[in-house]
Structure 1
Amino acid sequence: MIKNFRIISIVLILLALGSGAAWGETESTSNREVVLQLRWNHQFQFAGYYAAKELGYYEDEGLDVEIRSGSGGEGQTQFAPDEVIKGRAEFGVGSSDIILANDEREELMLVSSFFQKSPVRYYMLDTEEYSNLANLADKKVGIREEDLLSIEFKSMLRVEGVNLNRIPLIDKYSVFELEDLTTGKYDLIPGYTGGVIDYYAYKEGVKLKEIRAIDYGIDFYGDSLFTTKKLATEDPELVEKFRRASIKGWKYALENPEKTIDIILENYDNPEHKSKSDFREYNEFQSEKIRDLMLYPVVEIGNINPYRWDEMGSTLYQFGIIKNEFNAEKTIFNYEEIARGQEKDSLNQFIQFIMVGFLFSVVIFFINLSSKNTDLEIEIAEREEAEKRLKKERDRYEILFNSSIIGIVLTRRTGEIVQCNKKWLEMTGYDEGELVGRSMKTIISPEENEVPNELINKLIDGELTEYEVEQKYTKKDGGYLWGNLFMVAMDDSETDEKIYLNMVADITTKKMMEESVDRAEARFRDIVNEVAAEINVPIDFETKKIDDKTKMLSKLEEINLELEKMFKNELDENRKKEVLIIHQAKLAAMGEMIGNIAHQWRQPLNSLALVLSNLEDAFVHAELEQEYFDTCIERSRRLINQMSNTIDDFRYFFNPASEKEKFSPCESINSILYLLDEKFRFNDISVMFSDCDRNLSAYGYNNHYSQALFNVISNSADALADVDSPDKRIEIRVYEKGSDLVCEIEDNAGGIDEDIIDKVFEMYFTTKPGKKGTGLGLYITKTIIENNLNGKVNCENTKNGLMTKIRIPKESEDSDDE
């Protein structure tokens, strides 16, 4: 318990140290991708950002920057604050719109202010009469709804006390051009100093009047760089890198305007200009204006005056443009302060983490301590229950094992005795402790055991799976026991080794009777020989004595002849009985074989009948085509061949004549599916078997393997034929598992009652109604797989039906040994 507590504490401390150090890891193996959202089309207005990107200043800071135009077409603009807040860009260029976006939720943070003066201007022709803002109420003013250019205009009107309602607003998507003034469409339109209207007026010699907000005490910043508070607080290093590189780019652009214009023309387009030369002249004109807006070199590039931003916010709040007061201190990015705060927060979090971790460890310790008893009680109860179940299973096994009427002995490959039942102990006179661990060879009589020794060696080497022979054993008291031994090799589930089951029936009485007959015959022969010898001894020649001896010899000869006749009759009678028993066994085996052949023929005959029926229907309805006719003939020939092969297969069912070899289970299954195709189509059964690896192989008798699978698949088809369902399926899967090849055949016919599922492999047991089933199919399958192919077969219910699993070796046991 104490050890677990210490381990938890150490882990929590290490985690805390790791989390505390994680913030300081700012290096990255690849450049960080970020997006900068501009306010309008690509032009010198954003020259510093282009220079920083194309000259590699951003890349030097580990940044991969995408600069997006603010033009959306048809006068529409991408609202930079909206793009940044919604996560489509990390940085944006804005001005008073930053304050507007922060009015409802303070999500944006100012990084740098590059334009120290507002570039917004309101233009009219020089000939237009104008003395003050009140004159505009009677003029055609082009001020758009929800336009950033209108913010400073509205602020000027409020300063002068002009009623805003007297100046109607136009559609927010309207586009202004110099022609709007020269044609008289509008008397006043908004624009930027150095913008398109200012440039074309200069180029065409049109004189304009300018109205500036600064002249009415409205001193707003121009273009400023901003980001989200979330990014600034979570990754201040990234924001600082972008700010540094952008300032460096602006310094280069202001000191090298011509080279910067070359960069802009080479990499960016502006749809407002029809030619590259026009675009160049426009940028050259704008570059002078931008230098004046940035007050370079008098004011440091990117300088932010919190007081001026507070004044901007105060003006917008005073005139009702924003609902909440603006606080510049909370909005301006301060890298050093945020970094110090993060270090402090990280330290506090580390301390809190340690404290929470310690308290958590203590709580866990006591919770663990208090719950151990409950867990221990549950574990004890579960173990007791498991022991009870195990005891019941063992008791059941012991009852079956020890109540057998024959002797049963389990041995290992070396002959070591693992277990023996009570019957065997009674038969040999030993105690169990005297036999377990002892070699079986020590209680086998060395006499007359040449043949049994040869058979057991073949069984161990895998040449046989079982054998039956008469065996002579030595009992504890020195006597002998004759037994009829049936020996079979099995897999030990606990050790994955072979274990050998010795089942011995006591035939000592039979052997004694045979030996008694032999001894009686020998004794009789000895008596006769002794009498004959006695007759040959010297005698006197008195007549009476000679006659007595002659009569005695005649009588003995008659007895001898009679005994020989009786013995011969008894021997002939015994031989007749033995021949009769063998004949009866042959008839029984023949009857079983005929029944098996009849069962195996039933499925191909049904399929053949279906093929002929379909062929007849096609002929009657004039639908018989040559291709279909050839297919039916080929399928019929294969079914007939299958029936012929069945006879040969059953001839060598218990003693295969062919050699074991490698074969393709996929090809075997495809052949079976081909033979059963008519049955599948007749009963609307879908068979899913398409992903079989044709490189898979198994070892054994291909024809027997096919016969076993044919029985299982045909049984599934018969079960589905009685199911009323639109979705009847048989799924076949073949795969390797260890040294075995496994074939799973699963249907959705509803499965088998759990009470009888263990009986499906017994002879003559069938679940089919009436006389539809013989009860031999799965019995034959089990015999083929387990006796002839050294495999295993079992079945189990699934959710919708029954799954039969067949496992056979991939290689021969000889190849494994090698």
Structure 2
Amino acid sequence: MTKRFNRLRFSISVLFSLIFALLFALGWNCLPAFASAPAAEVGEGTIGSAPSYTHSEPGLTKLVLQLRWDHQFQFAGYYAAQWMGYYEEEGLNVDIRSAFTAQSPDILDAALEVEEGRADFGVGAANLMMAQDDSMDLILVASIFQRSAVEYVTLLEDRGNTVFDLSQLHIARRPGDLLDLELQALLASEGIAPYATRTTDITRDFTLEDLINKTFDVVPDFLGQIPYAAEKAGVPVKVIRPAEHGIDFYGDTLFTSGKLARSNPELVERFRRASIKGWFYALEHPLEISELIVTQLAAPDAAPERQAALLDFNLYQAGKVLELTHYPIVEVGNINPFRWIKMAEAMKSLGMIEEVPDLDAMIFDYDQVKMTQLENTRKNLAYAFLILTALITFFFVVYLKRRNTLLLKEIDDRQLAERQLVLSNARYETIFRSSVLGITVTDSEGNIRHVNDAWCSMTGYTADELSGMNINQLIAADSRDLDAGLHRDLMEGRISSYSMEKKYLRKPDPQNPDQEDHFHGRMVLTRIWDSGADAMLNMSMVTDITKEVRDAQAVRRAEERFRKIIGQVAQEIGGSALTLMGSPVAGELSMNLEEINLELERLFTRELEENRRKDALIRYQGRMAAMGEMIGSIAHQWRQPLHTLRLVLMNLRDPGNDPDYVESCYLKANALIRRMSETIDDFRYFSNPRTEPRAFTVAESVRLVQGLVDEQLRVSGITLSTENLESLQPMVGFDNQFSHVLFNLISNAIDALKHNPPGKPRTIRVAGEQREMLLTVRIEDSGPGIPSTDADSVFEMYYTTKEAQGGTGLGLPMARSIIETAFGGRLTLVPAEAGCAFEIEVPVSGKVGE
């Protein structure tokens, strides 16, 4: 890229020489020129009141860098650039100023200092979005901290595991505090009012003593100051980071004024380049820079004990800074416009800013600025020389188009390589490979990205053969458009998943010519987010139902034969029956009728067996539908642990990790894996068929189901409460079938509560009652309820009100069948004050009504 830019600059120089020669010949003395910076001021570089590490020479451009806090390792890169002479190499004399002054007790606002011209550069974070919204003209130059240094600390190890749990604690909050921005975004992301917790008017910094004295349950912290104090005091604390819950804000970012960036981009680029070099040096030499910070800035005249304590703190902070910069994985100073846009959108949703700023104009891009200046010069010259400018314009357009094409191709190739790298990772391999369902992952165009062994077995293709194929190549022509409307609704976000039966094609097998070329499958299609590919992908789970389809066809053939025999009987005993009475033919007809009667008995027996098989198929369909919903629940349960594991592994890759930190990361990862394993154990327990009844309690079944849907409840903001379940007498039966009934009823309640408008409570109550030898379990929700027109039909087979969401109409009929046949009880829809309520009545022994 640099070579292409040099060639462009050389070509421009040649063209300018021709233009100046022609201007001189014509006697023109004026040309439009680039805007230049004011005359440079001369002085010696300083950091606050401390002497510089290297001597500045006269003739350097004087600049002021305004920090957002006092001198510490948080700003080590700028000190290193000064002390190592990198600013001087770029012709700069930089005055690095602390945010604390002797003239005022207030902390200086770096954005305001730059906007009003008292500083040329500053260090900020999310507050830059608020300043820009207040009509300040600021430009982002380099994001040093790739993740915000804001975190929240508590002594309660068993609390704050979820955002809702965190909101129930007493959090130290101040109105207008910059440390509170990410907490507000975190609460709002889970549907909790940003100011749902109370605030305090304390103006001092929050400390470890606030936790020890129980003044607060949770206090905000910046760059590990409170964890450092806790470590020294031997007090174990728990650190809650918004990034681990999806609030991914940038941290310290170097910025300047829009006026300076537009008038003198070369100066801004020189400062940025020298600062980045300083940060590289500081991150590679933390001990040297920490010692200089203590001896020259923080406490040059302090006692040795005080200096030793400050050195230890700065070295601790150096480790935090290294983690936040993601060095060396991420290039120091890298700016991702998409992440800044997401930050601004989150702040707008909280009412912190009114509009999302134009990030393309707000982010400093030196190459783009130079190209803009060159384009403006070309336009000015075009007014002076029409013919010559036409040729120059053509040259510029062709050259720039070619250069942009090469650059875009380079970006596309890099993005494609990154997507392929991410997709090649062995994500979800254990559950993906071992599943009995045929699973495919495709892009929005239907191109297959990933398949499991079960799908290869169903289709007869290998994984390599399927890679790159389109999913429509494996679907029979008469089945491809069956779900066109549902597929469109899924892609446009109106539904989250749907189910459909389709006919799929098998690979021809020359060794087995009798093999059928197709199979029937029941498909559940949903969409998942692939963070590696930065795109939404389609995930299809297919169950082979070929045997079910064949059984259904056999039933239809039996019905046809039955109707044919009935027709023959009617024909033989028709209008001529009277003439046959008393004749020799009557005996023959009697024999025929006897044979027909025997055939009817055989058909009745066969039809009875077929109906039993159909009943079993319907039960199997209901169970597979429930298992499909549970697989979705497992995906919800695994998403957050997988994201946290990814962050833990990323942190382990950072150089310089001490053994204690590695051990803590190991323990954290082990706990996450244990949680994921428990989810799989619950699923296996639920899906394991029982051959013998056993004693169990309603409370046990409710806890099992609650563990399977816990993540859905959390994401949807639903509260599930239980009443009087522990006091119910144990009953004997098939416990997993009873859990199946509870899972269907609670899942239906969750689906209904998702339609509640904002502000309306979302609750599910499971209450138990025992009257002598009869157990009653009531499942009631606060949703929209069941319309009176549908109340009489909810238990009919295949009747559903959720066709758009892929409802099968099997859940409630199967639930009633299980309660009646397996437990001798009743499942009924009962009146409710608000929402919908179902009651299960089960006798401890005997059947209801006996």
The answer to whether TM tops 0.5 is no
* TMscore range, shorter length: 0.3 to 0.5
TM-score by length of 2: 0.38
Larger Rg: 1
TM-score by length of 1: 0.40
